[in-house]
Amino acid sequence: MSNYTVVLTGAGISTASGIPDFRGPQGLWKQVDPFDALSVNAFYRDPKKFYQFYFQMLKDFSKASPNKAHLAISKLEETGLIKMVITQNIDELHQRAGTKNICEIHGTSFKGFCLNCGRIKPLTPGELIPYCDNCGGLVRPQVVLFGDSMPDDYLLAEKEAAKADLILVVGSSLQVSPACYLPLRAKEIAIINLEPTPFDAQAVFLSHNKAELDLPQLLEFLNLEAK
Ligand code: NAD
């Protein structure tokens, strides 16, 4: 019996919404190398090229809607069965599904900040390179790019994972560090992921099914209905 359950989600929870993950069967990795395309180096080397890729990704995010897995997690939070959602995702689909308690450990893709004065700017596809409305400085996305350090939300995620009796991992290959070590802080680990992860052997519950099928089944079992 877990009195404090947290969820850790990754790109796999959003594939049913039409957003490709990195390492899954239809992963983005097959088209580009995200280590390069979404890196600090790529941003400073050629902001125009960086934003071409970035805004294409943002367009896909804007078109997507939360799927049954996001909605089920939101329902479990509403009923108090989940205390915190820690997400590696930058697509804001958990919030759009109604989740309130969330740590975005890799930031969000819909906002940027000015490298000169720090002002926040909403990012919308269309501009070649976004510049600050206040001072004209170059704006960079508020996502954690490869090569960045982790944001404050990550410290909160570490605390939440350490408090947890159970951490439920959904749709993450658990290969991106340091996020992949969060489950080890919790007392017990449960995993729903299409493919095997390096932490499968330590899981008290393991499913290699689709999250958008498993999580609604869990709701049904608990006699709950998602919005
Ligand atoms: P990953 O791509 O490394 O792993 C995704 C995992 O999800 C894979 O192992 C795959 O088998 C599994 N999966 C795919 N579809 C699934 C489904 N329907 N149900 C259950 N599992 C499914 O993703 P990651 O572990 O999150 O790490 C990649 C990094 O990429 C993260 O840092 C994340 O920020 C970023 N990313 C985010 C998005 C997004 O915001 N939607 C999309 C791509 C990448």
CATH architecture of 1-19+65-106+144-227: 3-Layer(aba) Sandwich (3.40)
What are the backbone angles phi and psi of residue 183, rounded to the nearest 5°?
Answer: -55, -30
Q: How far apart are CA 201 and CA 189, in angstroms?
A: 10
Q: Which one is the CATH code of 27-63+107-143: 3.90.1150.10, 3.30.1600.10, 1.10.3720.10, 3.40.50.10130?
A: 3.30.1600.10
**Rg of the chain over CA atoms, in angstroms?**
18
**What's the pLDDT score for residue 210?**
98
d(CA 111, CA 99): 19
pLDDT for residue 21: 84
Q: Please write the tens of the pLDDT for every residue from 62-103.
A: 999 999 999 999 999 999 999 999 999 999 999 999 999 999
CA angle 106, 109, 112 (to 5 degrees): 105
Residue 215 Cβ inside 6 Å of ligand 1? The answer reads no
Q: Where in the chain are the domains?
A: 1-19+65-106+144-227, 27-63+107-143
Look at residue 30 in the predicted model and tell me its pLDDT. 62
Which residues of the chain are modeled with pLDDT < 50?
Answer: none
Mutation to probe ligand 1, out of 22, 39, 62 (largest number of atoms < 8 A from CB): 22
Out of 70, 94, 106, 208, the active site residue is: 106
**Is 106 annotated as catalytic?**
yes
* Ligand 1 centroid from CA 128, angstroms: 28
What pLDDT is attached to residue 24? 64
**CA distances (Å), 171 to each of 49, 52, 120, 192, 218, in order?**
29, 27, 30, 6, 16
